[in-house]
Amino acid sequence: MTDTNEIPASEQPMQIELGGCEFTIRRIEPGDAKSLLNYAKSLPRHDIVYMRRNLSTQEGIEKWFRALDSGNIFAYVALQNDKVVGYSSINLTGLDWSNHVADIRVSVSPDVRKSGLGRVLVREAFRLTVTLGIEIVRASMTPDQEGARALFEELGFKNEAIMKDHVKDLDGAYHDLLIMAVNVDAFLAQRQAYGLQ
- The answer to whether 100 and 134 are in contact (CB under 8 A) is yes
Mean pLDDT to the nearest integer, 165-189: 87
pLDDT of residue 159: 93
- The answer to whether 50 and 107 are in contact (CB under 8 A) is yes
- The answer to whether 188 and 130 are in contact (CB under 8 A) is yes
18-27, 54-63, 76-85, 144-153 — which is least confidently predicted? 144-153
Mean pLDDT to the nearest integer, 134-147: 88
Q: Binning pLDDT at 50, 70 and 90, where does residue 136 land?
A: very high
Supply the mean pLDDT for the chain. 85
Q: How many whole angstroms separate alpha carbon 25 and alpha carbon 16?
A: 8
Backbone angles phi, psi at 122, to 5 degrees: -65, -45
Q: Binning pLDDT at 50, 70 and 90, where does residue 189 land?
A: confident
Q: What is the pLDDT of residues 89-122, one digit of tens each?
A: 999 988 888 889 999 999 999 988 888 898 899 8
Domains of the chain: 10-193 (3.40.630.30)
For residue 185, is pLDDT > 80? yes
Q: How many whole angstroms separate alpha carbon 65 and alpha carbon 184?
A: 26
Q: How many whole angstroms separate alpha carbon 8 and alpha carbon 132?
A: 10
Whether omega before 44 lies within 30 degrees of 0, making that bond cis, reads no
Q: How many whole angstroms separate alpha carbon 23 and alpha carbon 25?
A: 6
12-16, 50-54, 188-192 — which is least confidently predicted? 188-192
For residue 7, is pLDDT > 80? no
Q: Binning pLDDT at 50, 70 and 90, where does residue 39 land?
A: very high
